């Protein structure tokens, strides 16, 4: 019985570790990547929407014209490269860029 109890505790500790990693990941994205996109949105006159999920941060930028990434936008290029999903669509006469940053 003691051995079985020990396994159960280890399983819970593993689950706690996963939750802590997800929380750290989300906090890191909110502290580093989101400010890059906020600055880019201000620079381009875009709207920025941010949603936080368990182990994931989703962003959507909307603009009535287009998104330009120039040679000087090094941080934006880095943020694009780190995204686990990038989608670009046109909806309601606006360009939408959706990005996801996921721990998985």
Q: What local confidence, expressed as pLDDT, does residue 27 receive? A: 94
Average pLDDT, the chain: 88
The SS3 assignment for 72 reads coil
Question: The tokens of 30 are what?
Answer: 């909110």
pLDDT in tens, 3-51: 433 333 445 667 888 889 999 999 999 999 999 999 999 999 999 999 9
DSSP 56-70: EEEEEEEESS-----
Domain that residue 43 falls in = 2-102
Total number of domains constituting the chain: 1
Encoded tokens for 94: 């606006």
């Amino acid at each position: 019985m003691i051995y079985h109890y020990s396994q159960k505790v280890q399983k819970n500790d593993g689950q706690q570790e996963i939750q802590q990693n997800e929380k750290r990941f989300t906090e890191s994205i909110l502290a580093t990547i989101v400010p890059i996109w906020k600055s880019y949105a201000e620079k381009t006159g875009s709207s920025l929407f941010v949603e936080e999920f368990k182990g994931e941060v989703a962003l959507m930028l909307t603009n009535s014209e287009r998104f330009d990434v120039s040679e000087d936008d090094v941080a934006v290029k880095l943020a694009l490269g780190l995204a686990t999903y990038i989608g670009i669509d046109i909806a309601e006469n606006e360009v939408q860029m959706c990005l996801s940053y996921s721990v998985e």
